[in-house]
Amino acid sequence: MRKMVLILVMLTLALIVMSGAYAKGNGWKSSPYIRCPDVSQDIKSYTLKVFIQTADIYAGTASDLDLAKELKINPVLITNTNNNIEITKDTILIGGPVANPLTKKLMDKFPVKVTNEYPGKNKGVIEMIKLNVKISDHLYKEVKVLLLAGSDRWGTKAAVEYFKTLDYIPEEPIFVEWKDGKAVKIEKP
């Protein structure tokens, strides 16, 4: 029975590779066969679409929830009654530590510490960390936690809007500013 299952798995994998569903060198994330129905049509990057589709998105305020809906149709608003959420998969946090309790809980793990004063008025940051999370008694997995936050509402808006234009999940922080009605990348303040 085990041999039969192994043979079926091997045949299935062979068919996937031969059909092109697994793009050589790029892995499953570049496959045109993964659909992202919950992701905003404004996002053009396939890498971002897959990440957003599979990630949980948490916002801390109603205005941040509106920004989160520009990424995905079903983000979660964190309130006082549901703020002890455990991260178990890739996650996007919208809003800084004052607005978002989950951001506040994780802020010390991020390389850039967002406050009401830093990075500054109308300025924000896009940054990512990797966490090892427990998924069962003896099993852990690595997940990405992406923070889109600003010192104020406009900084957070800049982070979300600029993130939508990227082709990748940034490994290093990106500083942004809301200027003349659009998000622009800036040097570290």
Residue 108 confidence (pLDDT) above 60: yes
Q: Give the DSSP letter of residue 31.
A: -
What is the number of other CB atoms lying within 10 angstroms of the CB of residue 77?
15
CATH code of the domain covering residue 129: 3.30.379
| pLDDT > 90 fraction of the chain, expressed in percent and rounded | 71
Residue 16 lies in a domain: no
Residue 12 lies in a domain: no
pLDDT of residue 4: 57
Specify if 94 maps to a domain.
Answer: yes
Average pLDDT over residues 91-103: 95
Whether residue 14 is contained in a domain is answered as no
Looking at every residue in the chain, the average pLDDT score rounds to 86
Higher per-residue confidence, 187 vs 12: 187
3-class secondary structure, 49: helix
Domain assignment present for 1: no
Closest by CA position to 76, among listed 102, 109, 105, 50: 102
Residue 100 inside a domain? The answer is: yes
Number of folded domains in the chain?
A: 1
> For the chain, what is the radius of gyration of the CA atoms?
19
Residue 11 lies inside a defined structural domain of this protein: no
Taking the C-alpha atoms of residue 44 and residue 95, their distance in angstroms, rounded to an integer, is 23
4 inside domain: no
pLDDT of 114 > 60? The answer is yes
Q: Which pTM does this prediction carry?
A: 0.81
CB 41 within 8 A of CB 35: no
* Domain housing 161: 25-186
Q: Is the peptide bond before 75 cis (omega within 30 degrees of 0)?
A: no
Q: Indicate if the alpha-carbon torsion angle 114, 119, 121, 124 is positive or negative.
A: negative
